Structures are given as C-alpha cells and as structure tokens.
Structure 1
Amino acid sequence: MDTQHEIWKVVFKFRNYFAPLQDPRRILDIGCGTGKWAIEMGNEFPQALVIGTDLSPIQPEWVPNNVKFIIDDANEEDWMVEPQDYIHTRLLLGCFEDFRVIIAKGFRSLKPGGWMESQDIMPTVYCDDGTMPQNYPFSLWVKTQDDAAMKLGKPMRIGNKLKRWYEQAGFVDVHEEVFKLPINGWPKDPQFKMLGKFNEENYIEGIQAWSLFMFTRALGWTKDEIEVYLVNVRKSISNRAVHGYHKM
C-alpha cells in the first residue's frame, strides 16, 4: 500500500488532491489503508482535523496531532461522519456493492461548498500499439478477477463511471482527469519506466493475496490451483514486449 501511494504521488505530479482546497478544517479519508495520505494531508493542513477510517488497524501510532485513525465500515448506515470540508477515497474498487451509495453519503456529509474526490484505477489492461495478444495471461487474470468480483457483488470496474455517478448524486462542477500507469518498465520515458517498474513489483508481490481472496470465495479454486495459475500470470506482468497500461 505504501508503494501504491508513492506511485500515485508521482503520477499526479506529487499532488495528493486536485480539489481547490481553501483552508479546510475537517478532512475525511475513507479506506485510509496504512494512513500515508492522511498523514501527509495532516502535515500540509495543520489547522485541519484529518480522520482516516478503515476496517484494519494497520496505521502507525506516531502521527501528527491533528490526524486520527478510526476503525469504521463505510458500508454501515451509522457512518462516522460530521460535516466535512473535504472527503477523499482512493483505490476502493471491489470494496462496495454499490459505490454510488458512498458518493451519496459523502454528498450529504459535506459542508456547503465542500469537495469530494475519488481516485481509482480501471483494472482493464489497455494497449495502444497492438503488442498485447488476446491470450495475454495478465489480461485474462484481470477478466477472471472481474468475474469473481461480480459474483461476490463487489464490482471492480468503477473508475470510468465516477464522473457520472457524482453528477447523479447532485454534485456540481465535477471534473475528471485520466492518467496512464504502465504495467511494467516498457516505456522509454524515464519517469514512466520507473513507475512501470514499481507497478510491476507491486503486482508481483500482491497478486497472490488478491487472487486467494477472490478466487477461493467466488470461484471455488484451491490454493494449489491458484499458485499454478499465477506462474504464467507473473511472467506476463514482467513481459516488456507487451506495452500494457491501466487508466487512473
């Protein structure tokens, strides 16, 4: 998760947010993970109370005085929310049955003139130059993961719908920005090559956990079946002949 945070920071040109924040006093980070984003926001806005919520207590104990972490489930009705100036979500694909519910709760929880921002990724593997074959194992893994997520009722493909969902919830002045994140170090551009290498490392380290969770619960696969299946998937992630990328 910390690696993911650094990847996103570089992609966003070292910005943690795009909303035009003006002296926010209450900031809420839903699904804060290890808390890196919340801590950096607390340092940037020392006058604000920054609250990070998550299902797991994996955040550090030593944090700025204006940062607090709370174990809370955004799926629950009794959302841990007081009126906020800014609400932030990142990488919550596959976490909710209907992310529109979270957006609607955020809309109701904002002060007048407040902002809400969601940063997410499309798991689909895109390729613009024809180097990705139809049987590319990593792309097939993504489709299998998508099938599993749909059976669990927790869809993965939400990134391309966020703008429409925000507008439907009643938000105005809605902006969308799309960035590219290479699967591995295939790009010639030095910065994108570096980002791709970090992304490749992130996938190689995390793909077992993501597969075990979804494939055993939704598809009935065994751990041994998953391990055998992932051998070729890992190899394909590192294949620089395939110029694949995600949209963020």
Structure 2
Amino acid sequence: MSLFKGASAIVDLARGLKAHDFFFAYRPRLRIRERKLCGFELTMQRQRPLDSSRDCASLSDAVAESAASDNFTDLILETAGRHLSHWKQEGRTGLTLSVNIPTSELVQADLPGKLKSLVVAHKLNPRRLQITLTETPLASSVDELADATELVQAMGVGIALHGFGPRQNSLALLHQLALDTLRIDRCYMSNVPEDPESGIILETCIKLGHRLGKRVVLDGIETEAQFTWVHEIHEDIDCQGSHISEALQAPLLEALISLRRYT
C-alpha cells in the first residue's frame, strides 16, 4: 500500500514537513586521500513512522513508488538547488550535493528539463549536482534510461549508480548507462577488514571504476578499522558512513562547513 495516495499526496507531504515528521538530512562525504570534505548526500528522513508496518529510515524509500514520487523529486531538487546556490555565494565552490532519484523518475520526459531549469534559475555549476539512481531498472526500461542519463550528463549534471556490485546487472548497467560515479554496495564494506574476500572484491570494484574513468564512493564506513583499511589502500575515493559523520540537519551542516573552512 502506498504511503501517499492520489490528490492528497502533496498535502500530506507538506503537512509532514510542517509538523517536523519529515526533515532534510545531509550525509557528509570525505575524500579519503586528502581527508577533506568534498560534499554531501541529501536525503529526506522522518522523525517517527507514519505507518507502523513501514519502518523506513528514509522517506525516499517510502515514496519512491507512491503517488507522491513526483512531488518528492521536485521538492528535493529545489532544496538541492538552494543549497548549491548558497554555497556558491559563500565561495564554497568545491562542494557537491548528491540527491537520490528513482530510475522511474529519471525516465520521465520532463525531468531533464526540470534539471536544466534548476541549473539556470540558481545559476549553478551543474557539475556540483549529482543524481544517484536508487533502484535497479527493469530490463525493458534500460534503453530509455540510457537515453535519459545521456541527456542529463550532456548538461553537466553527474550521474551515480547506487549499490554497485551485488546486482546481477551491475556490469551491464556500467556499460550501458552514462555514469560518472559508482557507489559500491555497503554489503562488502560491512565485512571489512575481517573478511579478506570482501576486501578483494572492494579493491577490484574500485580499480574497475577508476580504469573506466569513474569516481568511486564507498558507503557504510562504520568503524575505525574500516576507515583505516580504506585509507591504507591508497586509492582516490570518496567515503561516507557513521564513522565519518552521522547525517546532519541544516544548522549542523553549515556549522561543520564553516568550522572546517571546506571549499
């Protein structure tokens, strides 16, 4: 059952934001070689479940296939545009912002146009915005998705593939889609450094991404041992996870950037 239905979708979403049931959160992303903050992943989360049968950590999981999906995408893109514009005005031109978009939304005819309008309206450097594909596309929609990723990449906006590795079609998607970044599935990192095979798989995925000219992001850095392992493989990769920082709300986000003087 969808969390939101029909014409009430945007009303429920707005009501939830006003009541602070939903809030934006930002996961810091660290460039491991330089130990430098390079950007954030923007998500929408909820303070408490609206439906006890759906205990989702992220609102995007709940609305991706619901009637609120279009509204959610518009809202999160506009929020990303405002943040990037603010950072630009503050001279923080090195930070990127990644937003999670269901593949079903990316193939909508008007989404590339929305992205172009967003970039123009906020006078953004499109390379500072990244779209992350959050679900495995159906085989029947891959060609359509490939066309959409080419359109988005042509305007300079980045495209990342989330959960690379365990998907049966990961290698096919890497070949077929116009991707800038691979986000390697956190299931491999969860077993590092205790499981040598997981470490080998991770290093192989990283090297594959680099050989193909992609940036690589590792999710799920949860312990000091994992952070040390990643640092010691001496690869130019970006990382995120609770050991680096929990997801932050906007005031703490700005405090972190100001305190560290990241650009």
TM-score between both structures, scaled by the size of structure 2? 0.31
TM-score between both structures, scaled by the size of structure 1? 0.33
Higher helix share: 2
